[in-house]
Copies of this chain bind each other. A is one copy, B any other.
Amino acid sequence: MKIPPVKGTRDFYPPEMAIRNFIVDGWKDASLRNGFEEYDGPIFEYLKMFQIKSGEEIVEQLFSLTDRGGRELAIRPEITPTLARMVNQQINSLPRPIKWFSVPRLCRAERPQRGRFREFFQWNVDIIGVDDEIADAEVIFCALDYLRQVGLTAEDIVVRISSRKMLAAVLRSIGIAKNELEPLYALLDKRSKMPGEVFEKMLADTVSDETKRKKILELMNLASIEQIEDCFNFSEEIKESVGELRRLFELLDIMGVGDFCRFDANIVRGLAYYTGIVYEFYDKCGELRAIGGGGRYDNLLKQFGGPAISATGFGIGDCVLGILLEEKGLLGKQLNQRKPDYFVACADKELFLKAVEVTARLRAAGKSANFSYKSANLGKQFKEASAQNAQKVVIIGEELSKNNELVIKDMNNGQQELIDLDKFFG
């Protein structure tokens, strides 16, 4: 009976696994270099944990299940609610600031397409307990530190930055009521994914007043932070949020990544819990979906039953990033190649067990080593050694039977030497 893989999932054969490991290992290195510690939670949580704060879009994409004890669960579509739960559970013993990262496996029942699967890996980097743009700057820097390290530059990547607080303040200043904000965010977040006329029609359905609609479009088209002050009634709220954006850009400049970053009022983010600065990472060609995004979510811990503690962080998935790295030619030469230290060949079938023994001793000594199951002739074994990229070949032949010696051939320069077996392992 043949059973196919499930729609939207991926099989990681060794070549695909090498790419996934290259991406994930790079994420981990950058996180540690930037002072973050790794955590993880369970693959499923109570369903209601994702229904409350993540927003409608994610709820529709949940893989939910009921276990034998009648618990309503869901496979995690994101890890931030788990992070909030875990931090709340140990809030009194965790030293702050909490600088944590994770690389969770996540599932969302989205329509599979280029760069989008129903199961993916997402790099999450968060700082909890720092109510200052330095934390937002540090997580954005961490992402860019990784992207630069794998070879991407400001020619390839742009971080589009805005602020939910600024957006809310401006929208309120032009007369949008507080309860109208949520549906408007959802619409504005999708603006770049639909034709202009469609957006304007949907906007008209959401906001009936034409003057307000014009103001919203004006805001969306602003080219710089300065223009916010020029164009809108400058309330204290707007002033504060613009000040935060200014300071963030200043910090990113000081950190040496200012050339990657630009203001873009179109950035709103789909998740419901963001409260301040928000941003998304894009390839500059603009042909791919966002590589990732994040922002400040100062109310989430409290909403999950904890104290009021500010938090900020981002998520970057492996799918769009993988396509970008491949397109830019950054995968091939950087992938960890298989390169065993030794291949143990035997000159005679009779010596096969001796080859097994030597291989086992090499491995026990911490060396990577292989041998051939086939006890074929030496030529074929050398071919196998080459195919595996073995650095050295150990030949078990009559030298061993006669003088207890091994022949070691360096596959890089072709040189051979004789070594006493006991000295070799001494």
Contacts and interface: CB of A to CB of B under 8 A. Distances in A.
Interface residues of A, number: 88
Interface stretch (A27-35, A182-190, A267-275): A27-35
Contacts of A44: 6, 9, 63, 75, 107, 119
A119 B42 contact: yes
A403 to B, nearest CB: 21
Interface string A3-15: 1111101111110
A41 interface: yes
B1 A43 contact: no
A251 interface: yes
Interface in A20-69: 20-21, 32-35, 37-46, 48-49, 52, 63-65, 67-69
Interface in A357-390: 357, 360-361, 363-364, 366-370, 373, 388
Given A7-B69, A12-B41, A251-B356, A366 B46 contact: no
A85 B145 contact: no
A246 B15 CA distance: 37
A151 interface: no
Contact of A363 (B4, B33, B82, B86): B33
Interface string A120-148: 00000000001010110100010001001
A256 B361 CA distance: 8
Interface string A64-98: 11011101010100000010011011100000010
A262 interface: no
24 contacts: A1-B305, A2-B304, A3-B45, A3-B85, A5-B42, A6-B67, A7-B71, A11-B82, A12-B38, A14-B37, A17-B40, A32-B338, A32-B368, A43-B119, A44-B63, A44-B107, A63-B67, A65-B65, A65-B75, A251-B353, A254-B357, A255-B356, A256-B357, A256-B360
A224 to B, nearest CB: 22
Nearest to A354: B254
A351 interface: no
A9 B46 contact: no
User: Chain B CB within 10 Å — which of A21, A68, A361 has the most?
Assistant: A68
A149 interface: yes
A33 B368 contact: yes
Contacts of A314: none
A373 B134 contact: yes
A218 B1 CA distance: 39
User: Chain B CB within 10 Å — which of A14, A82, A251, A388 has the most?
Assistant: A14
A105 interface: yes
A28 to B, nearest CB: 9
A340 interface: yes
B305 A2 contact: yes
Contacts of A89: 11
A328 B137 CA distance: 44
A220 interface: no
